[in-house]
Amino acid sequence: MNPITKEGIKFYHIPKGTIVYRGNTDQYFKEGTFLNEEYEYFGLDNRVANIYGLVKSYIIEQDLLLYAMDNIHNVKQLYSIAPANIKKSITSTFGYSLGVGQIIRDSDELNDKIILSFICKQHMDGYGCNEIETDTLKNFHAEIAVCNPMLKVSLKEKEQYSSDYIEKAINKSKEKKMKLELERKRLQLSVRDSHRTPPRRPLFDDADDADDADDSKSISMKW
């Protein structure tokens, strides 16, 4: 990715015509659409995309400037304008908080998407990262995330697989969905418990229940 600095902020320039890859077994069988119209994740090579499921390749249809989330100054800047819940997600998945001078990546589907949604709401094209250090011996892979992909990305082609490989990928996707559903239920219980009120008041506040529902829906498969 080609880095560009504008007004002290680092971006990655992704030129029109760049080929990117997306692994998602459900999406593989759908024609001409993204599962999420607000944003989508992509890999810069087939190897990374294959981690997440059956792969399609796409073409970037316009020049993109992606906010560099592997740059400590950028992460600090985003943290400074973020509300408390976004700050918590940044600390959780990029290891940043006030006084911390490095990025430690700990990818999490919920928190990654909370951060990406916030970036998209700042009217940016998305974010990009090269490999980032983790708290293990293995770095987290490079990735890009594009806001409003329906307007900026078009399908090139599907990768071809054997029937046995496809069957295994479908089973793996089902297992991941089951784990995700358990996590969604866990989050609902956790958020609901955090909003419990003293016995003399109603057990649940109506506004809190609405927030709980929104939070639980925000969890989804990252790619």
If asked whether residues 121 and 43 sit together in one domain, one would say: yes
Does 53 map to a domain? yes
- Cα separation, 170 vs 31, in Å, equals 17
Whether residue 64 contacts residue 126, with contact meaning beta carbons closer than 8 Å, is answered with yes
- Cα separation, 109 vs 180, in Å, equals 9
Does 222 map to a domain? no
Does 64 map to a domain? yes
If asked whether residues 123 and 145 sit together in one domain, one would say: yes
If asked whether residues 198 and 89 sit together in one domain, one would say: no
Q: Which pLDDT value is given to residue 211? A: 41
Instruction: Look at residues 158, 185, 205 and tell me which one is the last residue of a structural domain.
Output: 158
If asked whether residues 108 and 197 sit together in one domain, one would say: no
Q: Which pLDDT value is given to residue 99? A: 75
Does 96 map to a domain? yes
Could you give the number of structural domains in the chain? 2
Structural domain containing residue 204? 163-217
If asked whether residues 56 and 95 sit together in one domain, one would say: yes
Write down the pTM of the prediction.
Answer: 0.77
If asked whether residues 136 and 186 sit together in one domain, one would say: no
If asked whether residues 24 and 123 sit together in one domain, one would say: yes
If asked whether residues 200 and 131 sit together in one domain, one would say: no
In terms of Cα–Cα distance, which of 125, 142, 124 is closest to 133?
A: 142
If asked whether residues 48 and 152 sit together in one domain, one would say: yes
Radius of gyration (C-alpha) of the chain in whole angstroms: 19
Classify 206 as helix, strand or coil.
helix
If asked whether residues 123 and 192 sit together in one domain, one would say: no
Does 90 map to a domain? yes
Does 80 map to a domain? yes
If asked whether residues 149 and 167 sit together in one domain, one would say: no
If asked whether residues 181 and 142 sit together in one domain, one would say: no
Does 223 map to a domain? no
Q: Which pLDDT value is given to residue 58? A: 95
Helix axes 72-81, 84-94, angle to 10 degrees: 160
Q: Which pLDDT value is given to residue 194? A: 60
In the chain, which residues have pLDDT < 70? 32-33, 187, 190-222
Does 133 map to a domain? yes
